[in-house]
Chains A and B, each alone.
Chain A
Amino acid sequence: MLSEVAFWGLAALAVAGGVMVFRFDSMARATFALLTSLLCVGGEVLLLGLDYLGIVIVLMMTIEMAIMAVFMIMYMMNPAGLTPMTMMHNKQGATAICAAAFVLLAAGILSTPWPARRGKPPTDATMDLGMSLMGPQMLTMMTLGMALFATIVATVVLATRRGRYDRLGDSLRAPSTDDPIRGGVGR
């Protein structure tokens, strides 16, 4: 009974938060609406018995949205929502596409004969996940690791203003570095 109430409450809040993301004028508010929605997603995952993953989602989303709020205020033209404005294109077309996608997916969900539940959840689902990631799913884990590493490199390359080729020329053999401001140790 309690879990039933929790499910409906979290689901309503998640959907409402998701809708409000694109209705708020203020970028900061939109970020916190998204945070609400994703925290509710974490709550639903907790409700399904995945304690570890639910907590990971809650913690990760909190930090991620805090960072996102900073970026929003840095880059966006209307961070506080003081001037009402919309930044949308092709609203009708997108509404039609999304409504059609929802109807199609919902029809599929309701008409599919889902298989009966097979097996029982393990007593420690976290242990099960860890053993799986370190055993039969090792390739998945390694791929994720490589993807994360590639992301670190790519973000640094994209976000850096001047790389070593700007400073030392294409062959990296310039006698002195080409810096906008001279200085530094030994120069």
Chain B
Amino acid sequence: MNLELFLLLATALFCIGLFGALTQQSVVMLMMGLELMLGGVIVAAAAAWHYIAPAAAEGQVLVVLAVTAMALEMAIGFAVVTALFRSREIDMTDMAAELKE
């Protein structure tokens, strides 16, 4: 186990999440992709704390920041889906883009 392995794991999670965020049409599935990307960020931040500067607490603060970002993204995402669904009965990004025009 070393820093590189943890960072490679983080990269793998980030890229899978990016794939989901780019391809999924459903807003909720798109949010799942974003969650996976943030999961990768958490692993990378924790690994950087452990292997580079364990004496400083900033790495841990970065993990707290990423976890909070995850929670906010989820809450706002669901609120947007609820608003979209209520006004237009849709849950797909393509339909939302079409109806804008």
Q: Are A118 and B12 in contact (CB under 8 A)?
A: no
Q: Are A53 and B72 in contact (CB under 8 A)?
A: no
State the total of A-B contacts with C-beta under 8 angstroms.
219
Chain B interface: which size bin?
A: 35 or more
Other-chain contact of B79, A22, A87, A88, A159 (Cβ < 8 Å): A159
Q: Are B74 and A68 in contact (CB under 8 A)?
A: yes
Known pairs A105-B15, A117-B52; A133 contacts B61 (CB<8 A): yes
User: How far is B23's CA from A95's CA once the two chains are assembled, in angstroms?
Assistant: 9
Find the A residue at minimum CB distance from B59.
A50
Q: Is the interface of A mostly helix, strand, loop or mixed?
A: helix
Q: Are B22 and A98 in contact (CB under 8 A)?
A: yes
Q: Does A186 contact B (CB under 8 A)?
A: no
Chain B positions within 8 Å of A48 at CB level: 6, 46-47, 49-50
Q: Is the interface of B mostly helix, strand, loop or mixed?
A: helix
Q: Are B68 and A144 in contact (CB under 8 A)?
A: yes
Chain A positions within 8 Å of B17 at CB level: 18
Other-chain contact of A34, B35, B75, B94 (Cβ < 8 Å): B35
Q: What are 29 contact pairs spanning A and B, CB under 8 A?
A: A14-B13, A14-B39, A18-B13, A30-B32, A31-B32, A34-B35, A34-B36, A37-B13, A37-B36, A38-B36, A53-B63, A57-B42, A75-B81, A76-B28, A87-B24, A87-B25, A90-B22, A94-B18, A95-B19, A98-B19, A105-B11, A109-B7, A109-B11, A132-B58, A155-B75, A156-B79, A158-B76, A159-B79, A159-B83
